Structure 1
Amino acid sequence: MASVNVERTDDGFVARNSRGAEVPIGSGDTEGVFTPVELLLAAVGGCNIVSVEPLTAKRGHRLAKLSMTIEAEKGTPNLLGPVTITYEVQLPENDEKAEEVFRNVATRVHANYCTVSNTLQKGTPVHVTFEP
Protein backbone atom coordinates (compact mmCIF):
# COMPACT_ATOMS: atom_id res chain seq x y z
CA MET A 1 0.00 0.00 0.00
CA ALA A 2 1.17 3.51 -0.78
CA SER A 3 0.50 6.20 1.81
CA VAL A 4 1.27 9.89 2.27
CA ASN A 5 0.18 12.20 5.06
CA VAL A 6 -0.84 15.77 4.19
CA GLU A 7 -1.42 18.28 6.95
CA ARG A 8 -1.77 21.96 7.63
CA THR A 9 1.26 23.58 9.25
CA ASP A 10 1.99 27.10 10.47
CA ASP A 11 3.46 27.84 7.01
CA GLY A 12 0.78 26.22 4.83
CA PHE A 13 0.53 22.55 3.98
CA VAL A 14 3.07 19.73 3.75
CA ALA A 15 2.99 16.17 2.41
CA ARG A 16 5.15 13.61 4.23
CA ASN A 17 5.98 10.00 3.53
CA SER A 18 6.98 7.31 6.01
CA ARG A 19 10.67 7.80 5.11
CA GLY A 20 10.66 11.40 6.34
CA ALA A 21 10.61 13.22 2.99
CA GLU A 22 8.52 16.38 2.85
CA VAL A 23 7.03 18.42 0.02
CA PRO A 24 5.45 21.81 0.71
CA ILE A 25 2.05 22.30 -0.94
CA GLY A 26 0.19 25.54 -1.58
CA SER A 27 -1.73 27.57 -4.07
CA GLY A 28 -0.36 29.04 -7.27
CA ASP A 29 0.13 32.30 -5.34
CA THR A 30 2.59 30.82 -2.85
CA GLU A 31 6.34 30.97 -3.57
CA GLY A 32 8.50 27.89 -3.05
CA VAL A 33 5.75 25.28 -3.03
CA PHE A 34 4.12 22.87 -5.45
CA THR A 35 0.42 23.07 -6.23
CA PRO A 36 -1.50 19.79 -6.08
CA VAL A 37 -1.75 19.73 -9.90
CA GLU A 38 2.02 20.26 -10.21
CA LEU A 39 2.55 17.34 -7.82
CA LEU A 40 0.34 15.16 -10.01
CA LEU A 41 2.38 16.11 -13.08
CA ALA A 42 5.62 15.50 -11.14
CA ALA A 43 4.30 12.06 -10.19
CA VAL A 44 3.67 11.22 -13.86
CA GLY A 45 7.15 12.37 -14.83
CA GLY A 46 8.87 10.82 -11.85
CA CYS A 47 7.19 7.47 -12.36
CA ASN A 48 8.42 7.35 -15.95
CA ILE A 49 11.92 8.78 -15.58
CA VAL A 50 12.99 6.70 -12.57
CA SER A 51 12.37 3.58 -14.64
CA VAL A 52 13.56 4.82 -18.04
CA GLU A 53 17.00 5.98 -16.87
CA PRO A 54 18.22 2.76 -15.20
CA LEU A 55 16.68 0.49 -17.84
CA THR A 56 18.38 2.41 -20.64
CA ALA A 57 21.70 2.38 -18.77
CA LYS A 58 21.31 -1.33 -17.98
CA ARG A 59 21.16 -1.96 -21.72
CA GLY A 60 24.53 -0.23 -22.08
CA HIS A 61 23.36 3.20 -23.21
CA ARG A 62 23.87 5.77 -20.45
CA LEU A 63 22.35 9.03 -21.70
CA ALA A 64 24.47 12.17 -21.34
CA LYS A 65 21.35 14.14 -20.34
CA LEU A 66 17.84 13.02 -19.49
CA SER A 67 15.07 15.34 -18.38
CA MET A 68 11.42 15.86 -19.16
CA THR A 69 8.68 18.43 -19.08
CA ILE A 70 5.15 17.34 -18.18
CA GLU A 71 2.29 19.61 -19.18
CA ALA A 72 -1.49 19.64 -18.98
CA GLU A 73 -4.07 22.32 -19.49
CA LYS A 74 -7.25 22.59 -17.50
CA GLY A 75 -10.00 20.94 -19.52
CA THR A 76 -12.72 22.32 -17.24
CA PRO A 77 -12.35 24.25 -14.00
CA ASN A 78 -11.83 21.01 -12.02
CA LEU A 79 -10.46 18.55 -14.59
CA LEU A 80 -7.19 18.39 -16.52
CA GLY A 81 -7.03 17.85 -20.25
CA PRO A 82 -4.52 15.45 -21.79
CA VAL A 83 -1.11 15.20 -20.12
CA THR A 84 1.92 15.51 -22.42
CA ILE A 85 5.39 14.23 -21.52
CA THR A 86 8.25 15.72 -23.53
CA TYR A 87 11.68 14.13 -23.06
CA GLU A 88 14.82 16.22 -23.45
CA VAL A 89 17.71 13.87 -24.16
CA GLN A 90 21.36 14.22 -25.03
CA LEU A 91 22.62 10.98 -26.51
CA PRO A 92 26.08 9.66 -25.72
CA GLU A 93 28.68 10.30 -28.39
CA ASN A 94 29.52 7.44 -30.76
CA ASP A 95 26.53 5.37 -29.64
CA GLU A 96 24.34 4.82 -32.67
CA LYS A 97 21.89 2.50 -30.86
CA ALA A 98 21.23 4.76 -27.84
CA GLU A 99 18.29 6.65 -29.34
CA GLU A 100 16.53 3.49 -30.49
CA VAL A 101 17.05 1.78 -27.12
CA PHE A 102 15.91 4.89 -25.21
CA ARG A 103 12.76 5.33 -27.31
CA ASN A 104 11.84 1.64 -26.97
CA VAL A 105 12.40 1.68 -23.21
CA ALA A 106 10.50 4.96 -22.70
CA THR A 107 7.56 3.73 -24.77
CA ARG A 108 7.34 0.42 -22.87
CA VAL A 109 7.71 2.07 -19.47
CA HIS A 110 4.93 4.54 -20.21
CA ALA A 111 2.59 1.93 -21.70
CA ASN A 112 3.18 -0.93 -19.30
CA TYR A 113 5.05 -0.08 -16.13
CA CYS A 114 4.32 3.45 -14.91
CA THR A 115 1.69 3.06 -12.20
CA VAL A 116 0.84 6.76 -12.19
CA SER A 117 0.31 7.08 -15.97
CA ASN A 118 -1.68 3.85 -16.09
CA THR A 119 -3.86 4.97 -13.17
CA LEU A 120 -4.66 8.27 -14.85
CA GLN A 121 -5.35 6.64 -18.21
CA LYS A 122 -7.62 3.95 -16.81
CA GLY A 123 -9.16 5.98 -14.01
CA THR A 124 -9.28 4.97 -10.37
CA PRO A 125 -12.03 5.70 -7.86
CA VAL A 126 -11.08 8.05 -5.02
CA HIS A 127 -12.92 7.40 -1.74
CA VAL A 128 -13.20 9.85 1.14
CA THR A 129 -13.55 8.69 4.74
CA PHE A 130 -13.65 10.68 7.98
CA GLU A 131 -12.02 9.94 11.32
CA PRO A 132 -12.88 11.91 14.44
Structure 2
Amino acid sequence: MAQVRVERTDDGYVARNDRGAEVAMGSGDEQGVFTPVELLLAALGGCNIVTVEPLTAQRGHRLVRLAMTVQAEKVEPTLLGPITITYDVELPEGDEKAAEVFRAVAHRVEEKYCTVSRALREKTEILLELPERPDASE
Protein backbone atom coordinates (compact mmCIF):
# COMPACT_ATOMS: atom_id res chain seq x y z
CA MET A 1 0.00 0.00 0.00
CA ALA A 2 1.22 3.49 -0.82
CA GLN A 3 0.61 6.11 1.84
CA VAL A 4 1.58 9.67 2.67
CA ARG A 5 0.52 11.94 5.50
CA VAL A 6 -0.37 15.51 4.58
CA GLU A 7 -0.69 18.08 7.31
CA ARG A 8 -0.68 21.76 8.08
CA THR A 9 2.46 22.93 9.88
CA ASP A 10 3.57 26.28 11.27
CA ASP A 11 5.26 26.94 7.92
CA GLY A 12 2.48 25.80 5.59
CA TYR A 13 1.70 22.27 4.46
CA VAL A 14 3.86 19.18 4.14
CA ALA A 15 3.49 15.65 2.79
CA ARG A 16 5.60 12.91 4.42
CA ASN A 17 6.10 9.25 3.72
CA ASP A 18 7.06 6.46 6.13
CA ARG A 19 10.70 6.61 4.94
CA GLY A 20 11.14 10.16 6.24
CA ALA A 21 10.96 12.06 2.95
CA GLU A 22 8.90 15.21 2.87
CA VAL A 23 7.68 17.75 0.34
CA ALA A 24 6.54 21.26 1.23
CA MET A 25 3.44 22.51 -0.53
CA GLY A 26 1.23 25.54 -0.66
CA SER A 27 -1.14 27.58 -2.78
CA GLY A 28 1.55 28.79 -5.16
CA ASP A 29 2.00 32.20 -3.59
CA GLU A 30 4.94 31.00 -1.47
CA GLN A 31 8.51 30.53 -2.65
CA GLY A 32 10.19 27.13 -2.39
CA VAL A 33 7.07 24.97 -2.33
CA PHE A 34 5.08 22.89 -4.79
CA THR A 35 1.38 23.35 -5.41
CA PRO A 36 -0.74 20.18 -5.26
CA VAL A 37 -1.16 20.31 -9.06
CA GLU A 38 2.62 20.54 -9.51
CA LEU A 39 2.99 17.51 -7.25
CA LEU A 40 0.51 15.62 -9.41
CA LEU A 41 2.56 16.48 -12.50
CA ALA A 42 5.78 15.54 -10.69
CA ALA A 43 4.27 12.21 -9.67
CA LEU A 44 3.30 11.49 -13.26
CA GLY A 45 6.73 12.46 -14.58
CA GLY A 46 8.54 10.64 -11.81
CA CYS A 47 6.56 7.45 -12.33
CA ASN A 48 7.35 7.47 -16.05
CA ILE A 49 11.02 8.41 -15.83
CA VAL A 50 11.99 5.99 -13.04
CA THR A 51 10.43 3.20 -15.09
CA VAL A 52 11.73 4.21 -18.53
CA GLU A 53 15.36 4.60 -17.45
CA PRO A 54 16.03 1.09 -16.12
CA LEU A 55 13.99 -0.62 -18.85
CA THR A 56 15.95 1.21 -21.56
CA ALA A 57 19.25 0.40 -19.82
CA GLN A 58 18.26 -3.28 -19.42
CA ARG A 59 17.90 -3.42 -23.19
CA GLY A 60 21.50 -2.24 -23.52
CA HIS A 61 20.86 1.43 -24.28
CA ARG A 62 22.01 3.67 -21.42
CA LEU A 63 20.84 7.19 -22.29
CA VAL A 64 23.36 10.01 -21.79
CA ARG A 65 20.66 12.45 -20.64
CA LEU A 66 17.09 11.67 -19.63
CA ALA A 67 14.79 14.44 -18.44
CA MET A 68 11.24 15.56 -19.09
CA THR A 69 8.83 18.42 -18.70
CA VAL A 70 5.27 17.64 -17.62
CA GLN A 71 2.69 20.35 -18.14
CA ALA A 72 -1.03 21.00 -18.14
CA GLU A 73 -3.26 24.03 -18.18
CA LYS A 74 -6.36 24.48 -16.09
CA VAL A 75 -9.36 24.55 -18.42
CA GLU A 76 -11.63 25.42 -15.51
CA PRO A 77 -10.70 26.65 -12.03
CA THR A 78 -10.63 23.08 -10.70
CA LEU A 79 -10.09 21.02 -13.87
CA LEU A 80 -6.92 20.25 -15.82
CA GLY A 81 -6.86 19.90 -19.56
CA PRO A 82 -4.66 17.33 -21.30
CA ILE A 83 -1.31 16.64 -19.65
CA THR A 84 1.73 16.71 -21.95
CA ILE A 85 4.95 14.84 -21.19
CA THR A 86 7.89 16.11 -23.24
CA TYR A 87 11.10 14.10 -23.01
CA ASP A 88 14.56 15.66 -23.28
CA VAL A 89 16.94 12.84 -24.23
CA GLU A 90 20.52 12.56 -25.38
CA LEU A 91 21.24 9.25 -27.02
CA PRO A 92 24.56 7.42 -26.73
CA GLU A 93 26.85 8.24 -29.62
CA GLY A 94 26.99 5.49 -32.23
CA ASP A 95 24.01 3.56 -30.78
CA GLU A 96 21.69 3.34 -33.78
CA LYS A 97 18.93 1.42 -32.00
CA ALA A 98 18.78 3.59 -28.86
CA ALA A 99 16.15 5.99 -30.25
CA GLU A 100 13.88 3.17 -31.38
CA VAL A 101 14.21 1.31 -28.06
CA PHE A 102 13.69 4.47 -26.01
CA ARG A 103 10.54 5.44 -27.94
CA ALA A 104 9.04 1.96 -27.65
CA VAL A 105 9.81 1.75 -23.92
CA ALA A 106 8.49 5.28 -23.22
CA HIS A 107 5.19 4.51 -24.99
CA ARG A 108 4.78 1.16 -23.25
CA VAL A 109 5.60 2.61 -19.82
CA GLU A 110 3.08 5.46 -20.17
CA GLU A 111 0.36 3.16 -21.49
CA LYS A 112 0.83 0.12 -19.24
CA TYR A 113 3.46 0.32 -16.50
CA CYS A 114 3.21 3.75 -14.88
CA THR A 115 0.77 3.45 -11.98
CA VAL A 116 0.17 7.20 -11.89
CA SER A 117 -0.65 7.35 -15.62
CA ARG A 118 -3.07 4.47 -15.26
CA ALA A 119 -4.71 5.99 -12.17
CA LEU A 120 -5.33 9.26 -14.02
CA ARG A 121 -6.45 7.62 -17.26
CA GLU A 122 -8.77 5.12 -15.61
CA LYS A 123 -10.21 7.64 -13.13
CA THR A 124 -9.32 5.79 -9.95
CA GLU A 125 -12.10 6.02 -7.38
CA ILE A 126 -11.40 8.31 -4.42
CA LEU A 127 -13.00 7.41 -1.10
CA LEU A 128 -13.37 10.12 1.53
CA GLU A 129 -13.36 9.00 5.16
CA LEU A 130 -14.37 11.67 7.64
CA PRO A 131 -14.47 11.32 11.42
CA GLU A 132 -18.00 11.09 12.74
CA ARG A 133 -17.26 13.75 15.36
CA PRO A 134 -14.06 15.70 14.77
CA ASP A 135 -12.13 15.93 18.02
CA ALA A 136 -9.81 18.84 18.71
CA SER A 137 -7.36 16.48 20.46
CA GLU A 138 -6.71 14.35 17.34
Normalising by structure 1, we get a TM-score of: 0.97
* Cα distance in structure 2, aligned partners of 1:79 and 1:14: 23
Distance in 1 of aligned mates of 2:106 and 2:55: 9
Cα-to-partner distance string for 1:34-76 (whole Å, 9 max, x where unaligned): 0000000000000000000011011110000000000000021
Q: Give the superposed CA RMSD.
A: 0.7
- Residues of 2 paired with 1:128 and 1:108: CA distance? 32
Structure 1 unaligned residues grouped into runs of 5+: none
Runs (4+) off by over 4 Å? none
Higher strand proportion: 1
How many positions carry a matched residue from both structures?
A: 132
1:119 corresponds in structure 2 to: 119
Comparing 121-130 and 44-53, the one that deviates more: 121-130
Could you tell me how far apart the structure 2 residues matched to 1:87 and 1:43 are? Answer: 15
SS in 1 for 2:50: helix
SS at match of 1:40: helix
Report SS of the residue matched to 1:52: helix
Structure 1 vs Structure 2: percent identity of aligned residues? Answer: 69
Once residues 77 and 20 of structure 1 are traced to their aligned partners in structure 2, the CA distance between those partners, rounded to angstroms, is 33
Please say which structure displays the higher CA radius of gyration.
2
1:2 shift after superposition:
1.1
1:16 equivalenced with 2:50 (yes/no): no
Q: Which runs of 5+ in 2 are unaligned?
A: none
